[in-house]
Amino acid sequence: MQLLESLLFLVKLEGGCRHPGVTPSPECTEAQCPVPDITHGQLKPAQNLTYGSTATLECDAGYIPVGATTTVRCLSAGRWHPRVPACTLGHCPYPPAVDHADRNPQRSFPVGATVTYFCRAGYTLLPEVSPITTCLKNFTWSVIPKLCQKVQCPSPVIHHGREVSPRKAEYTFGHQVEFQCEPGYVLRGSQRGQCWSDGTWRPPAPYCDKVCGPPPTIASGQHSALGAEQFPYGLEVKYSCVEGLSLIGDESIYCTSDDGVNLTWSGPAPECRVVRCPKPAVERGRMTPQRFTFPYGAAVRFSCDEGFVLRGDAESRCLADSAWHPPLPTCQPVLCPQPQVANGRLKSTLDGKMWYQTNATVTFECLHGYHFADDGDMSLEGSWTATCLPDGSWTPLPKCRKEGDSDVCEEVDYIKTAFGCGVPIAEMKTLLEIQKLFLEIKKLKVELGNLNE
């Protein structure tokens, strides 16, 4: 084969140099293959590509030959065999795995491509480190330094408390701690915490809150927090006494603060004592509710019989000293004040007193020139009797009127009474008309009298 090619080449040379009928060329040179134009590569050697010589394809950095054959031979016809291959962009292998990091999800890595890494949850990028790697021209990845470090949480600090788990120089993601408070303090929040991926403690670190000391104990009684170990702010403790004893003081106390810092109980504990008040006796009076025992705190109300009035407080309470507070009231007889009648007087001067008891009677007479306006049941021959009522008022008192104009007066009085009751406008008008009429009659009478003088 090679022989045949050589022969053909020689034949070609013969034909070229000694063309029949043409003056032969002075010189013949050896045939060469053309230098091929290869993008991103070239043949080596690049000169003296004469018949039978071989050349090798060399691609530029970052490029690789297409196909397996890279060596070509120059044939007699000035052709290369096999055909001159091409160069294509090379690729990097999969980028390396980086501790605690993931990369963006591309699948093809040609030379020049970049890959970015991201730290996984709980890790952060180290400062001044680039998370980007590049596919180099020698098909390796640029150096990737250590990228990610564990997230750190601040050291947990709790006042008046401590960490039960051994203390660490630093606390990183996933670290768990447990807390405890000093005696006299109570833990508020979670006893355990974990350093979270965002660098915070979850749940947040607790705090230690002051507590009250145990509540005071009392003789013959007990409190509701028996057996409890901690008495936090706001806790209420209720006391009770053994049966038959009364609880003196506040039934419950609570853990509070006087100064905003230290905690104390809101007050002293109550006492358990025997308290029995005597049956309350109020002469001429009654008590409600009806009861037969009068222990501490029992309250009773008093009212008086008819004709008697209560002096003192209507309600009283049995207190710790086994006495009634305020002191029991008394029932005093109701008194009527001395009755006053205009233009009248008491018939007997012996009757002249400031106050009259219920059922007391007084008798009136009118002054000279006056007479009783109303001849009702109360008035006898020239005298009028009134009785002091149990409510401190008198039975109706008489009215003494000037003799002569009794009719007019009566009418006027009648109108006054009617006005007092609030009559309808129309009726009042009529009444006023009547009053006017009577006033005119009175005026006429006066004028007639003047004429008669």
> Would you tell me which residues interact with ligand NAG (CB under 6 A)?
47-48, 136, 138, 140, 259, 261-262, 307, 358-359
State the DSSP H helix or E strand holding residue 81, giving kind and residue range, or none if neither: strand 80-81
The minimum distance between CB 391 and ligand NAG, in angstroms, equals 12
The minimum distance between CB 246 and ligand NAG, in angstroms, equals 34
Contact 264, 234 (CB under 8 A): no
Q: Which is nearer to ligand NAG, 90 or 307 (CB)?
A: 307
Q: Which is nearer to ligand NAG, 193 or 307 (CB)?
A: 307
The minimum distance between CB 437 and ligand NAG, in angstroms, equals 46
The minimum distance between CB 333 and ligand NAG, in angstroms, equals 6
The minimum distance between CB 261 and ligand NAG, in angstroms, equals 4
Cα dihedral across residues 19, 23, 26, 32: positive or negative: negative
Q: Which is nearer to ligand NAG, 356 or 438 (CB)?
A: 356
Distance of CA 281 to the CA centre of its chain: 55
Q: Which is nearer to ligand NAG, 69 or 361 (CB)?
A: 361
CA separation (Å) from 238 to 67, 124, 223, 290?
Answer: 96, 55, 5, 30
Q: Which residues contact 54 (CB under 8 A, 6 or more apart)?
A: 71, 72, 73, 74
The minimum distance between CB 163 and ligand NAG, in angstroms, equals 25
d(CA 281, CA 293): 13
Q: Which residues contact 78 (CB under 8 A, 6 or more apart)?
A: 31, 32, 33, 34
255-285 b/e with 16+ CB inside 10 Å = b?
beeeeeeebebeeebbbbbebebeebebeeb
Instruction: Locate 377 and state its tokens.
Output: 């049941």
The minimum distance between CB 262 and ligand NAG, in angstroms, equals 4
The minimum distance between CB 210 and ligand NAG, in angstroms, equals 9
Q: Which is nearer to ligand NAG, 35 or 164 (CB)?
A: 35
The minimum distance between CB 258 and ligand NAG, in angstroms, equals 8
Instruction: Locate 384 and state its tokens.
Output: 């009028």
Q: Which is nearer to ligand NAG, 259 or 283 (CB)?
A: 259
d(CA 42, CA 361): 153
Q: Which is nearer to ligand NAG, 157 or 261 (CB)?
A: 261
Q: Which is nearer to ligand NAG, 24 or 34 (CB)?
A: 34
Contact 235, 213 (CB under 8 A): no
Q: Which is nearer to ligand NAG, 284 or 402 (CB)?
A: 284
Strand segments (E) across 322-433: 324-325, 330-333, 335-337, 344-346, 355-357, 361-366, 370-372, 379-380, 383-387, 400-402
Percent of residues in the chain assigned helix, strand, coil, to nearest 5: 15, 35, 50
